[in-house]
Amino acid sequence: MRRMLAGVFGAVLLALTGCGIPAHTEVEVDGSGPAVAAGTASYRRDEPPTRTASGDDRAAFVRNFLSAAAGEPERAYERVKQFIAPENRARLQEKQGSEIAVNVVRLTEKPVITENANGLFSVRLPVQQVGLLRANGVLAPPVATETEYRFGLRGTVSPGQEGTEEAGLFVTNPPNVLLLSADALRQYYQARPVYFWSSDGSRLVPDQRYLPLAVPDERRVSEVVKWLIAGPSEWLSTGVSRLPDRTALINNAIETEDRWEVNLDLPGDDNRKLAQIGTQLAWSLPELNGQLQLTTRNQSRAAIPSLRQHRLEHPVYPGTDNPQRFTVYEGAVHPLAFLGEGSAPVPLAAEVNRDVLSAGLSRVDDQVLAALVVTAPGGRQRLATGSGAGRVQIVNPSPQTFGTVGRPIWLRSPDPRRPYGLVVADRRLWRFDDRGRMDPVPLNVAGPVTAVAASLDGHRIAVVIGGALHVASLNVDGGVVTAGPVRKVATSLTDLSAVDWAGENTLLLAGTAGRSAVYEVSIDGALQTALVADVGARVTHLAAYPTNPVVPLPSVLIMYEANGVAYRYPQRDTIRRDQVLDVTPPPSGGRAGSPTAPFFLF
Amino acid sequence: MTSTSNPTPDTSAGWRPAARMLGRALVGRVLGLAAGLHQTWRRSLQVRVVTITLVVSSLLVGGFAYLIANKITDILLENAKTDTLLRLRSGSDYAGKQFSLYQQPQEAQLQDTIEGTVNYLAGGDPQQTSGVVVAITADRYAGIIETRTSPATDVRPLVSPELRAAVADGKVAHQIRTGRLADQRTKYLVYGSPVPTSFGQLELYYLVPLNRQDAAAADARATVLATGVTLVLLLGLLAALVTRLVVTPVRVAARTAQRLSAGLLDQRMAVNGEDDLALLAASFNQMATNLQRQILRLEEMSRLQRRFTSDVSHELRTPLTTVRMAADLIFAERDEFDPAVARSAELLQAELDRFEELLTDLLEISRFDAGFAMLDAEPTDLTPIVHRVADRLAALAERVGVPIELDVPGTPVIAEIDPRRVERVLRNLVGNAVEHGEGKPVRITLGMDETAVAITVRDHGVGLKPGEEKLVFNRFWRADPSRARQTGGTGLGLSISLEDARLHGGWLEAWGAPGQGAQFRLTLPARAGDRLTTSPLRLVPADAALPFGGPRDGELLTIGPAGGGALAIGPVPKTDDDRAEARS
């Protein structure tokens, strides 16, 4: 009986130990997996043409060769090497990852293709080095100094190599760099700003990036986030703040039902920081209007329900709408009236508004800032600055007097109590405040300064030093305006006389390209457009109301003065005297002066 | 080779007997144990009840425990599966979106994205050790896309080809596998899902260690097991207690009943409380009291009866003595009387003899009944007694014409007996034999062995009918009531003889068959107080015919079963094999 009992106990024990989690089971199918999303991927567009696309057209072939590097940088070498004769491909030494950089050059002349003996061709490319397009989309200042490149061309069937049926040409003896023409840059890249917060955290400062059009739309968000994480361009780095160190994008940003999700590894895990990044992204991704969600590894979240709405609520340039035109006429500032545009009275008291040579006005909320270049005794000039609510009653003349003073500009500082402006006086750059105090601003490039312009964000300036264009960031920390390192911009125009900002990342230049001309160039000089090819005389003043994403305008509004005559663009007409308002009619028969030094108040 | 192989048979040969012995000893022990257990099982109600309770409750509790433990394990596993499936689905969704940005498997950033995705899905921090391993494989792009896992390990042994095939087929599938990824073997729940991409399919695997679930299941199992065992033991204990509660009074009752039956009529059970067992004890006690009263009453009645008989006998003796004296006087003077009166005197004398005899016998019987009979045993030679009895009855035998034959050994037959009583028995037996001898010889045989002596008295009279062997010893029994007594038998002789034989610790038995006469056998132990086992002489005489008429000459007898568990002896049944039997 007891044995039976023991047997029963044993069986129970065995059953109990046997009913645990099994060590192995058969495969169980839980259902079908997710199906392939049909055709969501936008296919590659705007790939540069392949080697054989040009056929036997040598000029087209050279053009295509100069655009072959366009596209995703990881495969730039692969694309370029398709153009190179197989025996010469080793000459192009490949670099990896972030080392990959493309030399952007501007052809100063058409490529010179000459035929040698043996049916070979040699090509000479006279170029201007524009910059180095890095893998992160930044067009850095050029490193190379070559002014021309030479290489050879041959047909596909080279002597001693029979039987290849391929058509087209090959590059022989290629230069050991990736070359990209500025035209190809314009054609195969999208120039787009990304925004960084200024060092004081008050403003978003745009920075220019080039995104290959070959990158599919789905990856653009990821690319932009990576750019933001990688930091600003070198010349901007003193004026803007970077994201916290070791910030990283976790995988790619993905879109789920019109909502973009960005996973970040954010040290410190600061919600305020996250919100700032959200605003940065909202402006850096202007094509997105839907939802954006930022998530950190620690599950902090910052959700922007509507990017469009967010941009409206957080304008990148506050208070820049409603520009008003003014001009200097007979020693006083007068408003200009054009058909279809509003005008306003001069926000200057009459006793202030005299002996004016040129002026710079700015509006911060209700505050009007005025900087007037006025005549000083002894044929000299001085700056008089002041501020006032709605109307400037008193101006404070600067203690210094100068031989010549350029048009003063106000920095669009977010702090109305401490306005600063810049002015070129006697070939030096000065800063001033609204109490008439002037101090020189040191620059790290020697040379006579002839023009200065400040961007909408107030943290970048363009200066013409020694007739060449330079850009620099401004740092207004501690109430003192200092300029960061100056970056030289290669342009076709020479002998620059005036500069202003035409947009967030474009500049207006007045200079000489054979003839006096006004060009719109990108901030790095790579893209340039001739707005006015032949002004007829040297441009002495240039003022613009820049295009910006807050106040959409079809084109930049420009007014310039050459040879004592003021013009406006895009209307391309002169500003006539009768368009000047509040003018006491001159005594009859007296020679009427013309309006000069026109500018915008916004 | 041979040198090594040789010792093997030797040792095995040496082993075998030892093993056999051991086996035999073991079997013997087991059999002994089994027999002991069987006996315990039969004898102890408590053991039976406790055993049955234990067995049944073990089965029940075991069944329940199995169900519960199984359920708990199922629930744990199901939860793990649900969790993992959720993670897998969101993971494959996430991975699918991540990879949808790539059009070709060769793209440089794809590898980084896979790596990043795996790390992200595994919880981000590769140093973190939650134990979950996430892997993305590309079976279709084996050369182009490497398998990535987080944390970095080789998951191939854990992902079976069947699972791979199922996932490659576009199915979400899972499997439990045991393997070693870290330092110890662990059960893993392996879940696989395809990750569709623009260029084809990748596979995402989650390997979730089941340590926690396993431990929880083991815990639950141990708890359930411990509870079950405790419950079973408690039930056994309870059964033992309850049975003991019931069995103990029953045992007391049994013991009391045994004592009662042994004659201790004043034994009673203790009555505690008012329950069923108390009722049993009370009823038992009442029964015992009633029995005791009845027995005492009967005993009293019996005693009174015996007393009465004895008293009557005694009371009759005194007048009888007077009557006797008077009758003796008359008998002595009978010659002087008229012949008719003389004849009456003779009759009176004879009947008074019988009356006296009857009174003597009655007194003897009542002495036996009262238990006053005492054995006066002494070593005695039985041969003279036999001769004396034969001589005394020779006159009567001669008168009825029955010769008495003696078969007595030449040597003395010594036994510790009461010679007076043995002689009385013999006289009675031989007298009866002569009386019923019908002229045929009566044979007295004396026999002895180491332990017993026996005397048989054989006659060849009408014999006894079947069943009468017992009745002959009844008081005043008569084979033929209508038959007149020729001799002066009182009807108490054989009863007194039987009591005498019993007083010796011996047997007095009768055999008889109609027409074949009868034989009585007296067997007495050689030493007083010894128990008898056999008799030196046969009860059934050698010349007695068998009840069925005996076998025919030269034929065989068979012994076969008869009704009532007895053996029956009879002739061989008549069959067709007769000739064959005869021949053989």
| Cβ neighbours around B228 below 10 Å, total | 25
**Where does the pLDDT of residue B82 fall: very low under 50, low under 70, confident under 90, or very high at 90 and above?**
very high
Out of A1, A20, A31, closest to residue B37 by CB: A1
Nearest 5°: phi and psi at A401?
-120, 150
| Cβ neighbours around A564 below 10 Å, total | 11
At residue B187's C-alpha, the angle toward residues B182 and B189, to 5°, is 105
Q: How does strand A557-562 pair with strand A101-107?
A: unpaired
Nearest 5°: phi and psi at A147?
-105, -10
Cβ distance of A297 and B101 shorter than 8 Å: no
Give the residue-averaged pLDDT of B313-342: 86
- Tokens coding A382: 């001085």
Q: How does strand A248-249 pair with strand A396-397?
A: unpaired
- What is the residue whose two structure tokens read 């955290």? A201
Task: Choose among A528, A509, A362, A400: nearest CA to A450.
Answer: A509
3-state helix, strand, coil in chain A (%, to 5): 15, 40, 45
- Residues in chain A, pLDDT under 50: 38-43, 159-165
Task: Report the chain B residue with the minimal C-alpha distance to residue A6.
Answer: B55
The CATH number of the domain where A492 resides is what?
2.120.10.30
**Residues B477-506 pLDDT 10s:** 876 666 555 555 678 888 899 999 988 889
Say if residue A329 is in the same domain as residue A182: no
* Cβ neighbours for A560, distance < 8 A, ≥ 6 positions apart: A498, A510, A518, A535, A539, A541, A542, A543, A566, A567, A568, A569, A598
Q: Which residue has the higher pLDDT, B373 or B136?
A: B136
**Residues B515-529 pLDDT 10s:** 888 999 999 998 888
Cβ distance of B66 and A15 shorter than 8 Å: yes
- Tokens coding A80: 């370029």
- What is the residue whose two structure tokens read 């002689």? B423
Task: Choose among B468, B464, B482, B489: nearest CA to B544.
Answer: B464
Q: How far does the CA of residue B66 sit from the closest CA of chain A (Å)?
A: 5
Q: Which amino acid is at B477?
A: W
- Cβ distance A421 to A407 under 8 Å? no
- What pLDDT is recorded for position B179? 86
Instruction: For chain B, positions 58-77, list CB contacts with chain A under 8 A.
Output: 58-59, 61-62, 65-66, 69-70, 73, 76-77
Q: How far does the CA of residue B197 sit from the closest CA of chain A (Å)?
A: 6
- What pLDDT is recorded for position B483? 57
**Residues A100-146 pLDDT 10s:** 899 999 998 888 888 887 778 899 999 999 999 988 889 999 988 88
Residue B5 has pLDDT above 70, yes or no: no
Task: Determine what percent of chain A is predicted with pLDDT higher than 90.
Answer: 26
Task: Report the chain A residue with the minimal C-alpha distance to residue B228.
Answer: A12
- Cβ distance B78 to B176 under 8 Å? no
- What pLDDT is recorded for position A52? 81
- What pLDDT is recorded for position A463? 94
Asked if residue A435 belongs to a domain, the reply is yes
**Residues B359-370 pLDDT 10s:** 888 888 888 887
Q: How far does the CA of residue B114 sit from the closest CA of chain A (Å)?
A: 8
- What pLDDT is recorded for position B575? 44
Cβ distance of A33 and B171 shorter than 8 Å: yes
* Cβ neighbours for A140, distance < 8 A, ≥ 6 positions apart: A101, A131, A132, A133, A134, A233, A234
Is B378-481+488-545 a domain of CATH 2.60.40.790? Answer: no
Asked if residue A490 belongs to a domain, the reply is yes
- What pLDDT is recorded for position B567? 59
Residue A489 C-beta-side C-alpha neighbours within 13 Å:
30
- Cβ distance A532 to A569 under 8 Å? yes
Average pLDDT, chain A: 85
Distance of alpha carbon B126 from alpha carbon B116, whole angstroms: 10
* Cβ neighbours for A596, distance < 8 A, ≥ 6 positions apart: A327, A328, A329, A358, A541, A561, A564, A566
| Cβ neighbours around A181 below 10 Å, total | 25
DSSP assignment string, B317-348: HHHHHHHHHHHHHHHHTGGGS-HHHHHHHHHH
**Residues A211-268 pLDDT 10s:** 988 888 888 888 899 899 988 998 988 888 888 888 888 888 888 888 888 888 888 7
Distance of alpha carbon A508 from alpha carbon A518, whole angstroms: 7
Report how far apart the first and last C-alpha atoms of chain B are (Å, whole number): 63
CATH class of B106-212: alpha beta
| Cβ neighbours around B16 below 10 Å, total | 10
B380 alpha carbon, distance to own chain's centre: 47
- Tokens coding B102: 């790539």
Cβ distance of B124 and A222 shorter than 8 Å: no
Cβ distance of B103 and A20 shorter than 8 Å: no
B268-373 matches B378-481+488-545 in fold: no
- The structural domains of chain B, with segments of one domain joined by +, span 106-212, 268-373, 378-481+488-545, 547-584
Q: How does strand B442-448 pair with strand B452-459?
A: antiparallel
- What pLDDT is recorded for position B581? 34
Torsion, CA A256, CA A262, CA A263, CA A267, rounded to 10: -160
Report how far apart the first and last C-alpha atoms of chain A are (Å, whole number): 107
Number of domains in chain A: 2
Asked if residue A243 belongs to a domain, the reply is no
Residue B548 has pLDDT above 80, yes or no: no
CATH number for region B268-373? 1.10.287.130
Distance of alpha carbon B158 from alpha carbon A278, whole angstroms: 43
DSSP-derived secondary structure letter, A527: S
**Where does the pLDDT of residue B559 fall: very low under 50, low under 70, confident under 90, or very high at 90 and above?**
low
Instruction: For chain B, positions 156-215, list CB contacts with chain A under 8 A.
Output: 160, 162-163, 166-167, 170-178, 187, 193-198, 201, 210, 213-214
Q: Which residue has the higher pLDDT, B563 or A255?
A: A255
Q: Which residues of chain A make contact with B77, given a CB cutoff of 8 A?
A: 21
Q: Which residues of chain A make contact with B54, given a CB cutoff of 8 A?
A: 5, 8
Q: How far does the CA of residue A39 sit from the closest CA of chain B (Å)?
A: 8
Distance of alpha carbon A315 from alpha carbon A549, whole angstroms: 9
A422 is in which domain, residue-wise?
324-582+596-601
A138 alpha carbon, distance to own chain's centre: 10
Distance of alpha carbon B320 from alpha carbon B325, whole angstroms: 8
- What pLDDT is recorded for position A270? 78
- What pLDDT is recorded for position A372? 92
> Touching check for B352 and chain A: CB below 8 Å?
no
- What pLDDT is recorded for position A509? 92
Asked if residue A137 belongs to a domain, the reply is yes
Average pLDDT, chain B: 83
Give the residue-averaged pLDDT of B528-556: 75
Q: At what angle do helices B45-99 and A2-18 cross, to 10 degrees?
A: 10
Task: Choose among B145, B49, B56: nearest CA to B95.
Answer: B145
Cβ distance of B172 and A30 shorter than 8 Å: yes
